[in-house]
């Protein structure tokens, strides 16, 4: 099969391999990085035997913790598979839901995996549902109605959204599910940033609203444990989950034991809330800081404050492509992700606030110097 | 996409969910299970930050250790991707090498992933190269010559073989590579059991013999750490490796940090040899025990002693399907895998010797009682 990397990943490979990267401040971080001791103060016992769980869906206790901590309604452990991150959950769901030539609707901008999987691996017919700044980066339900046809097999969402931070409310989720139900389409929602809502109302999980909804989620972003590689897939349709599991058996077979153990501890509902809140405290401080900074740079830069996630998607008021903007920013030792790496995102940058406040302040000072160097429109 | 599980995995799900499984002795174990302390006596520091390596191919030091410990010739770290087990390496290589309708030759019996991936996901044209007991479960090079055509895109091997334990020597590997080269096909060899050769001569790695060879391997079986989920893919063709990496970015994105750390320790060449040897000591004892037991049951059961791996593939001399044989064995609280779960394996059972010798002895006593209960042909 042919495949090519999208502009998002090409950009990441580009900046990760800059010779002076260690001197740079990443202003595009989408998650924190916490130590094992924040989850398990005593660490992992060296006596731990490195076997697998002998359950293809992942350890049952972990699946129980997922259902409880995420407030998934009417699900049993047969509705959940533990996966190697949210990314794998997205992939399995797409393989199980789609065939070559099927029509799929992708919200854009969003995490670029859906586009690549649908285009290169599944060879599906892609239609874009563009999120627009004037609509607070939320999907326009009327536009979605116009896009779907009886051939639409899947609607792929991502909220809290990467890169814009937009969050759906219950009514919006219901309206989207009704449209999907009318045409018989699956909904796949990438919920990797769920629980990171800045109004403290946990956003709707697709799996709670519609029988043909698939939730793909994980701990990487909410807790700051990307190296743990623990995510999950949940769906009310057990036959669909079983099908996803078959695809997993032929790809990664099972998740990693130490990640499973740490996740089982981290997802104790009280512990989970505490860990999420620890991150959100930093996020709130940082968002306030950036908001103040943007107000002070009125005319150069503007934004829709994020509803959730550590991602924000400011618009810069300079007449240049986002890739050029971000390459120039590297000269000032600050890293953003070009908005143009996401369809519908040109003219923006993805600014992530998941770094410590001191580094963010230093980064904003560098950003100041960078903007000063640019000729304002 | 449609998919269905193969008979191997259906059998495993069947016996893993038996209510009395805890009373059973698994006589089909393909790997040991060692604790963290065997690799890292001090364990993993609770200060370890759960980030990712920021290198899409996996940590560079780990890739260096892989190349050195496995004696891969003429490779740099750009030729190796760390993967979520050997299984993911197989999957990525198949996606990158094949298109729908392409001709692929699968050695059979072997690990059933190749069959499922080629049939359901890639919709390739599958031809079987049957390994036969009379040829010591090795491929017949003349038969392979007859099977290949100018349309053959991939030859998928597995040695040391699962389930038969057969090992290729250098001349056999060279002969197969010459055939592949003549028709321009890739070779993908699943080498998950490499380093577990009972004559103590490490078997040839495909990647050392041909520019279009792909080696898929890992630590699960050699060390007994299936829950670590660390494997790798190696190939001389850097563009091919880059393509595999793109497929990985859209599936699991990266491997787990704690597995990467433990693997980096375990693959220090001296340490790696010690860890492998510790397993082989038990394997040697157990194979001798089974060999003696089979001699004592001459007429009921026979085998080709395995050249490598903890897998063996005895033939039973009873007129019944292997699934029935294995189901009846469950009544005697012993678990085998039916040979019929692998094309070309009917009339055999996969007997794995990767359990402690005491359990194996107890299992053989139960096997004795089971055979007594069967009417001999």
Band (pLDDT 50/70/90 cuts) for residue B129 is very high
Contact B16 A47 (CB under 8 A): no
Q: CA of A30: which chain B residue's CA is closest?
A: B51
C-alpha distances in Å from residue B196, one per residue of A10, A192, B31, B121, B280: 39, 40, 10, 31, 7
CATH of domain A49-268: 3.40.640.10
Task: Find out whether B110 and B190 touch, Cβ atoms under 8 Å.
Answer: yes
Contact B9 A249 (CB under 8 A): yes
Q: Which residues of B touch A43 (CB under 8 A)?
A: 43-46
In degrees and rounded to multiples of 5, residue B267 shows phi and psi of: -90, 10
For B281, half-sphere exposure in the C-beta direction (CA atoms, 13 angstrom radius) is 5
Instruction: Check whether B375 has a pLDDT greater than 80.
Output: no
Contact A35 B49 (CB under 8 A): yes
**Ordered DSSP codes for B154-172:** EEEEESSPTTT-----HHH
Q: Which residues of A touch B253 (CB under 8 A)?
A: 85, 87
Per the prediction, chain B carries an average pLDDT of 97
- Give the pLDDT score at A375: 72
- Give the pLDDT score at A376: 55
Calpha distance A285→A359 (Å, rounded): 13
Instruction: Check whether B377 has a pLDDT greater than 90.
Output: no
CA nearest neighbour of A207 among A179, A177, A178: A177
Q: What is the arithmetic mean of pLDDT over B251-279?
A: 97
Contact A36 B46 (CB under 8 A): yes
CATH of domain A7-29+272-373: 3.90.1150.10
Q: What is the percent of chain B where pLDDT is above 70?
A: 99
Contact B250 A98 (CB under 8 A): no
Q: Which residues of B touch A91 (CB under 8 A)?
A: 250-252
Q: What is the arithmetic mean of pLDDT over B358-367?
A: 98
Q: Which residues of A touch B16 (CB under 8 A)?
A: 54-55
Contact B250 A52 (CB under 8 A): no
CA nearest neighbour of A164 among A12, A333, A315: A315
- A134 CA to chain B: closest CA distance, Å? 30
Please tell us whether the domain made up of B42-269 is placed in CATH 3.40.640.10: yes
Q: Which of B2, B94, B227 to substitute to test the interface with A, most A CBs within 10 Å?
A: B227
**pLDDT tens-digit series, residues B157-212:** 999 999 999 999 999 999 999 999 999 999 999 999 999 999 999 999 999 999 99
Tokens encoding A71: 């407030």
How is domain B7-35+272-373 classified at the CATH fold level? 3.90.1150
Helix axes A322-331, A7-16, angle to 10 degrees: 10
Q: What is the arithmetic mean of pLDDT over B357-365?
A: 98
| Domain ranges, ordered by start, for chain B | 7-35+272-373, 42-269
Interface pTM, i.e. ipTM: 0.97
Task: Find out whether A48 and A250 touch, Cβ atoms under 8 Å.
Answer: no
pTM of the model: 0.97
Tokens encoding A147: 């896009």
For B186, half-sphere exposure in the C-beta direction (CA atoms, 13 angstrom radius) is 26
Q: What is the arithmetic mean of pLDDT over B338-356?
A: 98
- Give the pLDDT score at B347: 98
Q: A-B interface: how many C-beta pairs under 8 angstroms?
A: 207
Calpha distance B224→B232 (Å, rounded): 16
CA nearest neighbour of A242 among B61, B10, B173: B10
Q: Which residues, 6 or more positions from B322, have their beta carbon under 8 angstroms from its beta carbon?
A: B316, B338, B339, B340, B341, B345, B346, B347, B348, B349
pLDDT beneath 50: ranges in chain A:
none
Contact B9 A52 (CB under 8 A): no
Q: Which of B21, B253, B255 to substitute to test the interface with A, most A CBs within 10 Å?
A: B253
CB-nearest to A252 from B85, B122, B224 is B85
Contact B56 A13 (CB under 8 A): yes
Q: CA of A153: which chain B residue's CA is closest?
A: B1
The gap from C-alpha A33 to its chain's centroid, in whole angstroms, comes to 16
In degrees and rounded to multiples of 5, residue B276 shows phi and psi of: -65, -45
Helix (H, G, I), strand (E, B) or coil at A187: strand
**pLDDT tens-digit series, residues B162-176:** 999 999 999 999 999
Contact A251 B16 (CB under 8 A): no
Q: Which residues of B touch A56 (CB under 8 A)?
A: 9, 13
Contact B255 A229 (CB under 8 A): yes
Place of tokens 């339900």: A141
Q: Which residues of A touch B3 (CB under 8 A)?
A: 95-96, 243, 246-247, 250
- Give the pLDDT score at A325: 98
Q: CA of B260: which chain A residue's CA is closest?
A: A227
Instruction: Check whether B376 has a pLDDT greater than 80.
Output: no
CB-nearest to B44 from A43, A251, A259 is A43
Peptide bond into B335 cis (omega under 30): no
- Give the pLDDT score at B334: 98
Q: What is the arithmetic mean of pLDDT over B200-229?
A: 98
């Amino acid at each position: 099969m042919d495949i090519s990397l999208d502009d998002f990943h090409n950009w990441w490979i580009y900046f990760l391999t800059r010779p002076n990267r260690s001197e740079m401040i990443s202003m595009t971080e989408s998650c924190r990085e916490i130590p094992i001791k924040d989850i398990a103060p005593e660490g992992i016992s060296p006596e731990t035997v490195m076997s697998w769980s002998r359950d293809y869906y992942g350890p049952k206790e972990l699946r129980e913790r997922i259902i409880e901590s995420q407030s998934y309604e009417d699900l049993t452990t047969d509705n959940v598979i533990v996966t190697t991150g949210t990314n794998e959950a997205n992939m399995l769901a797409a393989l199980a839901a789609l065939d070559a030539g099927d029509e799929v609707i992708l919200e854009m901008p969003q995490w670029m995996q859906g586009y690549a999987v649908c285009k290169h691996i599944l060879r599906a017919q892609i239609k874009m549902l563009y999120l627009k700044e004037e609509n607070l980066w939320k999907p326009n339900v009327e536009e979605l109605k116009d896009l779907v046809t009886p051939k639409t097999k899947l609607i792929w969402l991502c909220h809290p959204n990467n890169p814009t931070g937009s969050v759906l409310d219950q009514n919006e989720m219901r309206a989207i599910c009704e449209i999907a139900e009318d045409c018989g389409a699956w909904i796949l929602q990438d919920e990797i940033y769920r629980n990171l809502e800045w109004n403290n109302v946990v956003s709707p999980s697709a799996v709670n609203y519609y029988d043909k909804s698939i939730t793909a989620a994980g701990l990487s972003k909410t807790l700051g444990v990307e190296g743990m590689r623990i995510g999950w897939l949940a769906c009310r349709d057990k036959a669909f989950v079983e099908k996803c599991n078959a695809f997993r058996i032929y790809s990664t077979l099972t998740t990693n034991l130490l990640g499973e153990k740490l996740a089982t501890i981290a997802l104790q509902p009280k512990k989970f809330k505490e860990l999420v809140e620890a991150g959100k405290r930093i996020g709130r401080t940082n968002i306030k800081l950036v908001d103040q900074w943007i107000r002070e740079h009125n005319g150069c830069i503007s934004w829709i404050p994020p509803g959730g996630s550590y991602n924000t998607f400011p618009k810069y008021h300079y007449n240049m492509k986002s890739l050029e903007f971000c390459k120039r920013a590297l000269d000032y030792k600050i890293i953003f992700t070009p908005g143009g790496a996401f369809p519908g995102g040109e003219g923006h940058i993805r600014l992530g606030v998941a770094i410590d406040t001191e580094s963010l302040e230093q980064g904003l000072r560098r950003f100041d110097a960078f903007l000063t160097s640019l000729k304002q429109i």
